[in-house]
Amino acid sequence: MSSSAGQAHHGEAHQKPLVGSMGVDSRKLGLWAFIGSETLFFATLIVTHLIFYARTSNTLSSVGALELLDPRLGYLAIELTTVLATLLLASSLTMVLALAASKARDWKRFRIWQLATILLGASFVGGQIYEFIHLYHEGLKLAPAFEMHLSHEAHKALTALNLDPSIVRLKEAGEHATALVPSLFGVTFFVMTGFHGLHVTIGIIWLIAIYVKVSRFPESPENPMDIELGGLYWHFVDLVWVAIFTLIYLI
């Protein structure tokens, strides 16, 4: 009995937020500051990619080849990424439901929603790996040029334009025709979306750690804040995808 009372007292001691000089929980403030810095990090990656896309499309447009060689229209189909966006959005919903369940101390519901969040996140990463492999085989590589497969009609049309090889280099081998376009479009695309995928993967590991910890120590008074911090990070990676989905795939 005295042992339980001791544990309860120990729990109360931890239940207080770690209030710093700013008058708020220091861990939460630190995470918000991290999210603020990450916002700038991803904005830099996104704008770099958009600049290389704009430069490539301007060059191709100036030689009359944009309709045939627009790297976005050629590579970035939105069917898969719409599914990925939906998965991540759904995971944000399940995450906030997990947090609400934890605040109500309903650990059974918490485990269901947290597990759903982890599975949805893992599905997103799986879809992104599939997309990367598909794009790589299509010719988009982590290299300072991208290669596009051409139909015979497109190859004929481009040949007729008599393009400068420094802008577009055409190749034809048997039934296959390709165009090699110097641009960092592929590099910036893979770096940007790859970093986002890495953040999602780290988020999944974080959420699994929270799941295991809460399952083993459901009475720990630190659980709600641990879950809230993991959830904040998870919603942030969803927020980044909201921007990437629109700016990279739709516009």
Partner 1 sequence: MADHDSAVTHHEEHHEAHGTGFYWQVGGVLAVVTAAEVAAFVYRDLFGHVTFLTLLFILMFAKGIGVVLYFMHLRGDARIFQFVFIVPFTFAVSMVLGFLVLFSHHVGIAG
**Is there binding between residue 90 and partner 1 (CB under 8 A)?**
yes
Binding residue (CB under 8 A) for partner 1 from 95, 148, 179, 204 = 95
Question: Which 44-63 residues touch partner 1, going by CB under 8 A?
Answer: 44, 46-47, 50-51, 54-55, 58
CA-to-CA distance for 195 and 237, rounded, in angstroms? Answer: 10
Q: What character string, x for contact with partner 1 (CB under 8 A) and - otherwise, covers 103-142?
A: x---------------------------------------
Q: Which is nearer to partner 1, 44 or 151 (CB)?
A: 44
CA-to-CA distance for 98 and 84, rounded, in angstroms? Answer: 21
CA-to-CA distance for 93 and 77, rounded, in angstroms? Answer: 26
Query: Six-digit token pair at 176?
Result: 């296959």
Q: Which is nearer to partner 1, 25 or 147 (CB)?
A: 25
Nearest to 56 by CA among 145, 183, 180: 183
Q: Which is nearer to partner 1, 129 or 242 (CB)?
A: 242
Residues in CB range of 229: below 8 A, 6 or more apart: 27, 28, 31
CA-to-CA distance for 114 and 208, rounded, in angstroms? Answer: 8
Q: How far is the CB of 160 from partner 1 (least distance, A)?
A: 25
Nearest to 138 by CA among 198, 93, 215, 73: 73
**Is there binding between residue 43 and partner 1 (CB under 8 A)?**
yes
Residues in CB range of 124: below 8 A, 6 or more apart: 84, 87, 88, 91, 200
Q: How far is the CB of 137 from partner 1 (least distance, A)?
A: 24
Please report, as ranges, the residues that interact with partner 1 according to CB under 8 A. Answer: 16-17, 19, 22-25, 28-29, 32-33, 35-37, 39-40, 42-44, 46-47, 50-51, 54-55, 58, 78, 82, 85-86, 89-90, 92-93, 95-97, 100-101, 103, 231-232, 235-236, 238-239, 242-243, 245-247, 250-251
